[in-house]
Chain A
């Protein structure tokens, strides 16, 4: 394996390990030695990859945002109507929350709850741009095609993502009696009805 790709693989493994630890144990209680140990590297070597916990935290949110952005982009590029895209986004999001819960957990429990960590370098949309941009493209094309009602972007964004985030939160808290997939169709339907043009 070439040196750079080996380094990339190690970086990736720090990212996935850190995501798990942060979302399970919390951001402040997880230390760099904890992460290094779990990855199987020395603390000194860890610093070759990320020079601080805050920098790692920002990389993680950009990693999740790019991942989510790429998944939504793939849906955006399908030649289907907005209703079908809503269902696909809901299904993708819930699948991600079930199979890679640490990603969504990190977003909800670390990024949104510890804003002080993400001040400089992650202002506004900077670290979540790929994800928000894809949702903008989704909403814009939905309105342009006449399927969705024109309204303020953040009102629509909050309705869509707030709803999904809330369900994943309930799921994480083990409050939901059924798995997330059980609610997929009705939630997609609700979102579509709330957003569709009159």
Chain B
């Protein structure tokens, strides 16, 4: 009988973070199956083999290093400088994974910390402590648990993960958040929701939805297997992109009523031609509520 392959040793470290990615990870429906494939050396919330102090002694190695949060040069973890800690473990690891947008591009915390960065990127430019290392970026605020699960399972199975220019797995970040949104028909006919939480209407013009400008598969792989922001009636904030967090998240910037940015891959001329024509028709079914409030 062939012996089972050795389990990979996974170490989860944190920079400046809200713990959102750690928590999101716990919502992975098949977390148990995934954890079967790894020895957890340290994770802030999961049962771990070692304490943070033991990890900080830097006298062992890991196979997979997962990092959450923005990198801040002065930060210490378990009495060790974060930079030295990362350098030690990343050097030996076969894979380094940046979990969430702060670890990927700097995200929310970089915004308040000029010296901060992601692990290997500062926004969309290479930078940060591991800029020269092949880091897998799993952006998102927080990272979708299924995306992290996918990447770790691919690693456990020794499969190659194809990455885009920002080091994000193509399988997860090639589509737009707009793909699979249940409001697409409203987007096509340019009928916008008048308030949050309604089932009808697109959220692009009046609520600031970034779905057509954001690489993410939130509407193809649902959150907690049931939903997404747009499905419950709040706009996409573009949290997987290196310019997150943008300002005025509930607004789509327009110039003379015309959106400054149009869906990725579409020229403004063709977008305006199409929307102008779509707006010339009124689709009664889409303009009224489908189910009136009692």
| Bound Cα distance A143, B260 (Å) | 9
On whether the beta carbons of B273 and A129 are closer than 8 Å, the reply is: yes
The 8 Å CB contact of A152, one of B257, B260, B268, B272, is: B257
B197 adjacent to chain A (CB < 8 Å): no
Given contacts A133-B269, A137-B268, contact A125 B276 (CB under 8 A): yes
**In the complex, residue of chain B having the shortest beta-carbon distance to the beta carbon of A195:** B256
Identify the B interface with A (CB < 8 A). 254-258, 260, 268-269, 272-273, 276-277, 279-281
The 8 Å CB contact of B273, one of A133, A148, A152, A153, is: A133
On whether the beta carbons of A123 and B268 are closer than 8 Å, the reply is: no
On whether the beta carbons of B269 and A140 are closer than 8 Å, the reply is: no
On whether the beta carbons of B276 and A129 are closer than 8 Å, the reply is: yes
A124 adjacent to chain B (CB < 8 Å): yes
* Chain A contact patch, size range: 20 to 34
On whether the beta carbons of A140 and B268 are closer than 8 Å, the reply is: yes
On whether the beta carbons of A124 and B281 are closer than 8 Å, the reply is: yes
A155 CB, min distance to chain B CBs, angstroms: 9
| Pairs A-B, 5 closest by C-beta atoms | A124-B280, A143-B255, A153-B257, A125-B276, A140-B258
On whether the beta carbons of A125 and B279 are closer than 8 Å, the reply is: yes
Encoded as 1 (CB less than 8 Å from any B CB) or 0, chain A from 103 to 120 comes to 000000000000000000
| Bound Cα distance A143, B268 (Å) | 15
A62 adjacent to chain B (CB < 8 Å): no
Identify the A interface with B (CB < 8 A). 73, 123-126, 129-130, 132-134, 136-137, 139-144, 148, 150-154, 156
| Bound Cα distance A59, B113 (Å) | 60
B178 CB, min distance to chain A CBs, angstroms: 21
A77 CB, min distance to chain B CBs, angstroms: 10
B residues in contact with A126, CB < 8 Å: 277, 280
Most chain A CB within 10 A, of B256, B257, B281, is at B256
On whether the beta carbons of A152 and B276 are closer than 8 Å, the reply is: no
B residues in contact with A141, CB < 8 Å: 255
On whether the beta carbons of B255 and A140 are closer than 8 Å, the reply is: yes
Known: A139-B258, A141-B255. 17 other contacts (CB 8 A): A124-B276, A124-B281, A125-B279, A125-B280, A129-B277, A132-B276, A133-B269, A133-B276, A136-B258, A137-B272, A140-B260, A142-B256, A148-B256, A150-B254, A150-B255, A152-B256, A153-B258
A residues in contact with B272, CB < 8 Å: 133, 136-137
On whether the beta carbons of B276 and A144 are closer than 8 Å, the reply is: no
| Bound Cα distance A142, B255 (Å) | 8
| Bound Cα distance A177, B281 (Å) | 43
On whether the beta carbons of B256 and A140 are closer than 8 Å, the reply is: yes
B residues in contact with A124, CB < 8 Å: 276-277, 279-281
A residues in contact with B255, CB < 8 Å: 139-144, 150
B114 CB, min distance to chain A CBs, angstroms: 27
| Bound Cα distance A66, B99 (Å) | 51
Most chain A CB within 10 A, of B257, B258, B280, is at B257
Given contacts A133-B269, A133-B273, contact A139 B280 (CB under 8 A): no
On whether the beta carbons of B260 and A136 are closer than 8 Å, the reply is: no
